[in-house]
Amino acid sequence: MRKQIAAANWKMNLTLKQGEELLDAIMSKPHSLKENQQAVFAVPFPYLAMAQQKLAGKTNVFVAAQNCYSKKSGAYTGEVSVEMLQSLGIQFVVLGHSERREYFTESNQLLADKLNICLGYSITPIFCCGEPLHIREANTQNEYVTRQLEESLYHLTAAQVQKIVIAYEPIWAIGTGKTASSAQAQEMHAYIRQQLAGKYGQAIADSVPILYGGSVKASNAVELFTQPDVDGGLVGGASLIAEEFVAIINALK
């Protein structure tokens, strides 16, 4: 059965103490993760070790980095390698978030390299894709997302693609309070799955979790997550509020 994932993306928020308190608050509330369901916390780099320690031994709960570098090691001041993440026991990395694409000019080609290095270390990439507002308004979002997939993913083997998670994040719905309607989310998720099926076959496409990101909240999570091709969410703002994120975890179908 395909995995369902509630992933928190803290972005560049919270002090260490606030992060500790948030994880404690979330873990102290009742949450039900079935066998095929996971909660993932993408925390800032300096908090990875703290989060790993706090969440150690919790079933189906994982820590993610929000980025990594595309090279193995070396003179890349300020960057963080996949080997470093692996040495901390980190199992997930968010790649290609729209904020990294926009503010740090991450290209589809660079992301292809980052995917390669993550897969080489058995770290699961949560690969983000999604269109900006002007593309949605021109109704060319399918072509736009297809290109992101083609240029970053399509060099991967079927076995590798089975190891990734995709997050569809329409940029116009990120941090804006605007959510794609559940029908818009389902339509794009089904489209992405259909593209994967065309390239890798239906069985592979059916095995890849596709998360929705963009103003997911406790109040809309059930409706979004009950769409057949929406396998959970990548959550920004609402993941910083314990009650909200616990409700989002519990909204996994």
Q: For the purposes of burial, counting CB atoms within 10 Å of the CB of 39, is it exposed (0-12), middle (13-18) or buried (19 or more)?
A: buried
Site for ligand 13P in 129-188 (CB under 6 A): 169, 174-175
Phi and psi torsions of 76, nearest 5° = -130, 70
- Compute the least distance from the CB of residue 117 to ligand 13P, in Å: 21
Contact stretch for ligand 13P (CB under 6 A) within 138-146, 155-163, 186-194, 228-236 = 228-236
Angle at 42 between CA 83 and CA 116, to 5 degrees: 40
Note whether 80 and 110 are within 8 A (CB). no
- Compute the least distance from the CB of residue 232 to ligand 13P, in Å: 12
Closest CA relative to residue 70, chosen from 123, 16, 113, 22: 113
- Compute the least distance from the CB of residue 215 to ligand 13P, in Å: 4
Is 97 a known active-site residue?
yes
d(CA 209, CA 232) in angstroms, rounded, equals 8
Q: Residues binding ligand 13P: what is the number (CB under 6 A)?
A: 14
The residue written with tokens 């072509």 in the block is: 143
Residue 184-203 contact track with ligand 13P, rule CB under 6 A, x = bound:
--------------------
d(CA 79, CA 130) in angstroms, rounded, equals 25
Collapsed DSSP state (helix, strand, coil) of residue 112: helix
d(CA 225, CA 207) in angstroms, rounded, equals 16
Q: Does the protein bind ligand 13P through residue 216 (CB under 6 A)?
A: yes
- 85, 123, 235, 249: which one binds ligand 13P (CB under 6 A): 235
The residue written with tokens 């406790």 in the block is: 218
d(CA 230, CA 168) in angstroms, rounded, equals 9
Q: Does the protein bind ligand 13P through residue 9 (CB under 6 A)?
A: yes
Contact stretch for ligand 13P (CB under 6 A) within 67-75, 102-110, 152-160, 208-216 = 208-216
Q: Does the protein bind ligand 13P through residue 234 (CB under 6 A)?
A: yes
- Compute the least distance from the CB of residue 2 to ligand 13P, in Å: 20
Residue 75-114 contact track with ligand 13P, rule CB under 6 A, x = bound:
----------------------x-----------------
Catalytic residues: 97, 169
Instruction: Catalog residues that contact ligand 13P under the rule CB under 6 A.
Output: 9, 97, 169, 174-175, 213-216, 234-238
